[in-house]
Every structure is written in C-alpha cells, then in structure tokens.
Amino acid sequence: MDFITRFQRALSHQRQKELLADHIDAFEKPQCALLLTMDKQMAEIYTKAMFQKFEQELMQSLPCFMELKMDDASKAIYKVSERKRGKTRVTEVVYDKYSDQWSCSCKGFEFIGILCCHALALLKREQIEYLSNKYILNRWKKTAKSGLVSDSNGNEIKDCENNSLLIKQSRMSRLASDVIEHALMSEEGCELLSNNLNDTRVMLKLLNDGVGPSEVGGSSSQTRYLKDPKRVTHKGSSKRVKGAKEMRMERGIRHCQQCGQTSHDIRRCPRMANTS
C-alpha cells in the first residue's frame, strides 16, 4: 500500500512537471542572451529546455578559433580550437559540399541532437544566419506533440485540444494527492474519504446523465456522523499535594475505641489507666 501510494505520487508529480513545461512553452517566450538571428530563430522553435542548451553551445562558439586544413571540390576540413577552463580542445569539422552537410568529430549532434559549438562557429564564419531544418530535430520542437501519435495497434491517439482541461486535471490531481496523504494518517480519515468519494461518484454520474444540480444535492439521503476524537492524556502534574490538616479532615473525627469520646484515643483513655 505504501509503495503504491508513493508510486502514484511520483507519477502525478512527473505529469505535473510535464504539464507545467508544456504551459511555459505555449505561453512564454524565452529571453535571448545573444543578439543573433539564429538565436532568435531557435527561441521560436525549440522548447525552453532545449533552447537553453542550444544557446549555451552558441555562446561557447564565440571564443573558438578556426583554421582551414584542406579544401577541394568535394569537401572542406577545418580545425577548431576551443579554449575552456584553461585547456584547449581541438576538433575537426568537415563540410560536405555535395550534401551541404556539416559534421564534427565530437559527435555532439549525434549524441545530443543539437549542433555543437564547433559547427556553429563555422556557420557564423560563413555568415549563415538561419539554421537549416536538417539540424532541427522534431522531438525538440514546441510542436512535437501536435503531430499524429499512434498506439501499439496503429490507432491514432488524440491529444486533448483544450489546454484548460489539462490545467484543471493537474490542479485536481494535486488536490486529490494531498487529500489522500492526509487521509492515510488514520483509519477514521480513510473511512471518511472513502464514503465521501462514493457519494461524489454517484453525484457526478447523475450530473453526466443530465440531472440538475439541485436534484443532485438532495439525492443522497444517507447521513454521516463523525465520531468524537479519542481523549489524550497530556503529560504534567497529576493531583495537587494535600496538607496534613486537610487529610485529617477528609478522614473524619476519630473516637476512642474504649469510651467513645473524641478528646483522646485508646492509648490515653482514663478508663484504661484506672484498670491498670
């Protein structure tokens, strides 16, 4: 039970982060740190997370040094030196003239999916302002979820067209997770939540069937009673310490067992003295 609860909570948190990222990509535009046309272009295309990675590569391309090693009819080879943290890294960038394709020995595009700083440095050197679509992967675009998605049987999975429904679902999922977490603290809480959820499910079914809200509110005739909370004994002093006089008053007046008088006890009774 504890594992299932934690798993559902983690899954809900992951969905919440995804919905928040989709909302940011749809309604917020990232700020460009560089006044470059390519930087502004990718801010419109990439998601916020991928644009930050691309902009970091673009900034690292500024201090790169380029040297042409070979140039013939089919290709051109450049040596690119990158100075970073006191160390110099040298890579080789090849430009295929027939396919109009740039490739780097660091394999940054193959591993990450965005052009590395070495290839971007050469694009700026060639005064290429806009990045070609061949270097922009669809999975990093803001519109990645707008295409057709199929299940294992090949059937199209239709995404929710109304973003407000996704926001409502996220808000209610977060509220439900918080309520369940509080209900699991006690058996009474679990029983209370279960009963209310059953009543709510019946009311929602009636609403979906076309029953009016006023009729739904009075449809449940069952009354729920809450039990009194258990008494808790707090730590601290128990009873007040009583004095000797108060204790004698509670015990009552003593009488002599020999003569029945109250001025003395049997050890000091005059009758006992006369007898002896």
For 259-274, the pLDDT digits (tens) are 777 777 777 787 776 6
End-to-end CA distance of the chain: 85
Question: How confident is the model over 206-213, as a mean pLDDT?
Answer: 74
Question: How confident is the model over 20-46, as a mean pLDDT?
Answer: 82
pLDDT tens digit string along 213-242? 566 555 444 555 566 666 666 555 556 666
Write down the pLDDT at residue 74: 92
Instruction: Flag whether pLDDT at 55 surpasses 50.
Output: yes
Instruction: Flag whether pLDDT at 205 surpasses 60.
Output: yes
Question: How confident is the model over 151-160, as a mean pLDDT?
Answer: 56
Question: How confident is the model over 134-162, as a mean pLDDT?
Answer: 68
Write down the pLDDT at residue 178: 78
Write down the pLDDT at residue 254: 72
Write down the pLDDT at residue 219: 47
pLDDT band at 87 (very low <50, low <70, confident <90, very high): confident
Is the dihedral angle over the CA atoms 254, 258, 259, 264 positive or is it negative?
negative
Instruction: Flag whether pLDDT at 19 surpasses 80.
Output: no
What is the share, in percent, of the chain residues with pLDDT greater than 70?
73
* Average confidence score pLDDT of the chain: 79
Write down the pLDDT at residue 221: 47
Between these two residues, 240 and 113, which has the higher pLDDT value?
Answer: 113
Between these two residues, 210 and 51, which has the higher pLDDT value?
Answer: 51
Write down the pLDDT at residue 173: 74
pLDDT band at 139 (very low <50, low <70, confident <90, very high): confident
Between these two residues, 151 and 4, which has the higher pLDDT value?
Answer: 4
pLDDT band at 275 (very low <50, low <70, confident <90, very high): low
Question: How confident is the model over 20-38, as a mean pLDDT?
Answer: 79
Question: How confident is the model over 101-119, as a mean pLDDT?
Answer: 92
What is the share, in percent, of the chain residues with pLDDT greater than 90?
28
pTM for the structure as a whole: 0.50
pLDDT band at 154 (very low <50, low <70, confident <90, very high): low
